[in-house]
Amino acid sequence: MSPIILAIESSCDETSASVIRNGKVLNNIIATQVIHRKYGGVVPELASRAHQQNIVATVHVALDDSGTAKTDLNAVAFTRGPGLMGSLLVGVSYAKGLSLGLNIPLIEVNHMQAHVLAHFIDDPKPTFPFLCLTVSGGHTQIVLVRDYLDMEVIGQTQDDAVGEAFDKAAKIMGLPYPGGPMIDQYAQMGNPKAYKFPDTSMPGLDFSFSGIKTAFLYFLRKETANNPSFVEENRNDICASLQQTLINMLLTRLQEASLQTGIKTIAIAGGVSANTGLRKSLLTVGEALGWNIFIPAFQYCTDNAAMIAMAAHYKFLKGEFCSLDVVPLARMPL
């Protein structure tokens, strides 16, 4: 059977829909919520309301753009978690309604598993087994991927995610939300060795980013006390130094994971995988260590329904459907 699946993503502040036919993603429609910029971060209640406003139109565009009628669908998939409960609830409820109304199977998808499977949307695609560094605003994990639906987290942050560290540092500097991409932009014009920040990683393959946020805050307080214009005058170097420190923390643990497992096929996924500094550093390290590197297209790094569709395709082939009494999960292990 060549399944046609509609996928819905609503885990945070992006309302997205995608249609996949026989394993080929046909589109990736995203409605971005800009209202959060004035608050310096995602406001859960506002995100939920925006999803309610956007989801019907987003799904209709995805269906029309792909030339798919609702009656053509063989299943509907949705992000069950992890994510913001109110945002997830909108997507889950809409998907359940379609499933019931069309009498087609319902497929729940783990958001983080989908980030990994974004690598199978376009060529080139990694071969199994491979290691995937999943980095976002809410997660930092090293995942051992044995098969499409067989994954194991072998290292993860014990507190904050690296994306949170980027965004919080940007906020401390007075940069607009979302701050992570702004740091990346300024870092490209700065000296990554201008300032030294501590590596606060945990033993083994785990990460910790709460300490570097605190160190960064104290650093700026000290420097601006002596020179109120310090950030403005040295923004490029500050961003470059902080970004390189965070990247080194990520790649040091990734190198250790590769050494422990013997795996040299390496991928990255998640919103922070769009960071140009991380991409360049990964390619440099990979070339030196003989790694086979896989980096997703920019549109598949941030939250999107195409990755949900790809995960749903493999779950459909294995007959992994869920019942209509399914509920969203704010925390959902891989």
| Residues 67-113: tens digit of each pLDDT | 999 999 999 999 999 999 999 999 999 999 999 999 999 999 999 99
Q: What is the mean pLDDT of residues 132-149?
A: 95
Q: Above 90 in pLDDT, residue 248? A: yes
Instruction: Determine the pLDDT at residue 167.
Output: 92
Residue 164 has which token pair? 């949170």
Q: Is 142 left (phi over 0), alpha (psi -120 to 50) or beta?
A: beta
> What pLDDT, on the 0 to 100 scale, is given for residue 244?
97
The pLDDT confidence band at residue 1, using thresholds 50, 70 and 90, is low
Strand partners, 106: 76, 322
Report the pLDDT averaged over residues 185-189.
Answer: 97
3-state class (DSSP) for residue 308: helix
The predicted pLDDT at position 177 comes to: 84
Beta strand ranges found along 58-181 (DSSP E): 75-81, 106-110, 130-135, 140-147, 150-156
pLDDT band at 178 (very low <50, low <70, confident <90, very high): confident
In contact, 50 and 39? CB cutoff 8 Å: no
Domains and CATH numbers, the chain: 4-117+301-317 (3.30.420.40), 126-296 (3.30.420.40)
pLDDT of residue 40: 76
Classify 16 as helix, strand or coil. strand
Opening angle at CA 83, ends 113 and 186, nearest 5:
85
User: Which pLDDT tens digit goes with each residue over 54-79?
Assistant: 999 999 999 999 999 999 999 999 99
Rounded CA-CA distance 150/170 in Å is 36
Buried-state track 2-12, b at ≥16 Cβ within 10 A, e below 16? ebbbbbbbbbb
Please tell me the predicted confidence (pLDDT) of residue 182.
95
Position 185, amino acid: Q
The pLDDT score that the predictor gives to residue 332 is 92
| Coil vs helix vs strand at 54 | helix
Are 95 and 54 a contacting pair, CB within 8 Å? no
